[in-house]
Amino acid sequence: MVEKVTSQANIQAMLHTLRSHQAQASAGVDPSAVQAAMPGAVETPRTDFGALVRNAIGEVNALQGQSRALQAAYDSGQPVPLTEVVLGMQKSSLAFEATLQIRNKMLKAYEEIINMPV
C-alpha cells in the first residue's frame, strides 16, 4: 500500500511538483498551464481531505463497535477469551486517543492560521 520513496513515479511526481511551484513563483503562471506544457509529467492523484478524515473516523468507530460487541458477548456468557475483550478495548481506546490528539493539533494549527496577521 505504501510505495517506496525512491520509486521512479514518486521521484517524477516530486520533480513535477517542484518545477510547477518554481514556474508559478517566478512568473505568476497558472499551475495547470505549467503542467500541460511539461512533457512526460506524471499527474499525481488528488486526495479528498474530507474523505480521508471520514474514513479514519469510520475505522475508529468500527473498532469501538467491535470492542462493544466483544464485551457484550463476554458478559452474556459466550466463549470469548477475556484477553480478546481486553485487547479490543485497548485497541479502541488507543484509536480514540490518537484521533483526539490529531483533532487537537488540527484545531491548534487552525487557530494559529486564523490569528496570523495579514
| Other residues' Cβ atoms within 10 Å of the Cβ of residue 118 | 2
Digitized pLDDT (tens) for each residue of the chain, 118 residues in all: 344 555 677 777 777 777 777 777 776 555 555 555 555 656 777 888 889 989 999 999 999 999 999 999 999 999 999 999 999 999 999 999 999 999 999 999 999 999 998 8
Half-sphere exposure of 52 (CA within 13 A, CB side): 5
Q: What is the pLDDT of residue 14?
A: 74
Per-residue pLDDT at 5? 52
pTM above 0.75, yes or no: no
